Amino acid sequence: MKMKNLLLLFLLTALMGSCKKDDGTPDEVIIVPPRSLSEVADEDDAEIKAYLETHFYNYEEFDSPPAGFDFKIKFDTIAGDNADKTPIMDMPILKSETITVSSSDFGRDDDEVVDHILYYLIVRQRDDAEVVNGPTIGDYAVVRFEGSLLNGTVFDASTHVEARFNLSRVVRGFGNAIEYLKPGIGPFENGDGTVRFDDYGIGAVFMPSGLGYFSNTQSIIPAYTPLVFKVDLLSFEPDTDFDDDGIPSILEDLNGDGNLNNDNTDQDTEVTVFIPNYIDVDDDADGIPTREEIDIDELGNVTFRDTDGDGIQDHLDNDN
């Protein structure tokens, strides 16, 4: 839950960034000089690559699990007794995705659009993974996680209780990486009131700060810092509808860029807040709830209307 709070704080900071003045700023807030998204992306990628080339994970334990193995990913430096280990960078299961980020996402007005590389490792996945879909960034997911800096400092973790996250309200690299994981099988009763999931997806993600908090200092996370998350995906809720307006949230990504936080049809009516469509119950601010401007059949399938035939769907059209 803490991570969610951090993200909400980040959004607020981003919104206020353009009017940036610091009357009453508490002493502990560190003001870091602004840096460009492109410069930081290159620097972060170099840091992540250096980490991946000098570290390994406990792949031998995952390949042949010893008795009592807890199926937790552990990273260590390639040195000493571990000098012969295979670096993460050379593991065939290391994958990457290029994600485009706009500086306006961080409240900046320099119009930069920069490719960022997200690196991820899937170390365990269900055997029948091909027939099981993973979540989208429009879903709720139940996860266990641990977030750290590249130096190993842990800044947040789920401990005994799993976290249920709206995958668009957490740092972007986290939501995007979880899309590659498959959920577990379950829940199964343990007989003591608790439940468990078997064969859940286990992975780790390495993200540049542009897919994290970028210039925003968060608790012990300095500005412009790459992040590492280890994640277990226990389950997720397919076709989650965060705002309960009848439209699965993933379908409220109007520009189809895999980011739900930059689609806001009635932005010009939202003076002090920014409520993207996936969390807005009246997307066009015409006073008629979105749910009443669409048709939903018994199976939950949504059909959109265009009453005035202007090519704009009613729930996005404030003069239909």
Contacts of 287 (CB under 8 A, 6+ apart): none
Q: Which DSSP state fits 272?
A: S
Q: Which span sits near Ca ion by CB under 5 A: 38-46, 103-111, 138-146, 306-314?
A: 306-314
263 binds Ca ion per the rule CB under 5 A:
yes
Indicate which single residue of 243, 297, 307, 313 sits in contact with Ca ion (rule: CB under 5 A).
243
Indicate which single residue of 204, 253, 294, 313 sits in contact with Ca ion (rule: CB under 5 A).
253
**Comparing C-alpha atoms, which of 267, 243, 199, 261 is closest to residue 14?**
261
280 binds Ca ion per the rule CB under 5 A:
yes
Which residue's CB is nearer to Ca ion, number 203 or number 248?
248
Please compute, for residue 178, the number of CA atoms within 13 A of its CA located in the half-sphere on the CB side: 34
CB of 290 to Ca ion, least distance (A): 5
Indicate which single residue of 136, 216, 235, 264 sits in contact with Ca ion (rule: CB under 5 A).
264
**Comparing C-alpha atoms, which of 181, 180, 229, 176 is closest to residue 201?**
181
Which residue's CB is nearer to Ca ion, number 45 or number 245?
245
Which residue's CB is nearer to Ca ion, number 234 or number 250?
250
Q: Which two tokens stand for residue 132?
A: 């099981």
Q: Is the dihedral of CA 201, 123, 116, 31 positive or negative?
A: positive
CB of 34 to Ca ion, least distance (A): 25
Indicate which single residue of 245, 246, 250, 294 sits in contact with Ca ion (rule: CB under 5 A).
245
Q: Which span sits near Ca ion by CB under 5 A: 81-89, 97-105, 142-150, 241-249?
A: 241-249
Q: How many CB atoms lie within 10 A of CB 213?
A: 25
CB of 159 to Ca ion, least distance (A): 33
CB of 307 to Ca ion, least distance (A): 8
Strands 75-77 and 227-237: unpaired
Footprint on residues 91-120 left by Ca ion (CB under 5 A): none
CB of 100 to Ca ion, least distance (A): 11
Q: Which span sits near Ca ion by CB under 5 A: 44-52, 116-124, 223-231, 283-291?
A: 283-291
Q: Which span sits near Ca ion by CB under 5 A: 15-23, 69-77, 164-172, 235-243?
A: 235-243
Contacts of 79 (CB under 8 A, 6+ apart): none
Q: Which span sits near Ca ion by CB under 5 A: 55-63, 81-89, 201-209, 311-319?
A: 311-319
CA-CA distance, 318 to 278, in Å (whole number)? 17
What phi, psi does 143 have (nearest 5°)?
-135, 160
- Would you mind telling me the total number of residues written for the chain in this entry? 320
CB of 104 to Ca ion, least distance (A): 12
Contacts of 122 (CB under 8 A, 6+ apart): 93, 95, 180, 181, 201, 202, 203
Residue 159 CA: distances (Å) to CA of 108, 125, 144, 147, 253: 35, 22, 8, 12, 32
Helix (H) or strand (E) holding 123: strand 113-124
Indicate which single residue of 173, 176, 286, 313 sits in contact with Ca ion (rule: CB under 5 A).
286
Indicate which single residue of 139, 156, 232, 283 sits in contact with Ca ion (rule: CB under 5 A).
283
277 binds Ca ion per the rule CB under 5 A:
yes
Q: Which residues bind Ca ion (CB under 5 A)?
A: 243, 245, 253, 255, 257, 259, 262-264, 266, 275, 277, 280, 283-284, 286, 314, 317, 320
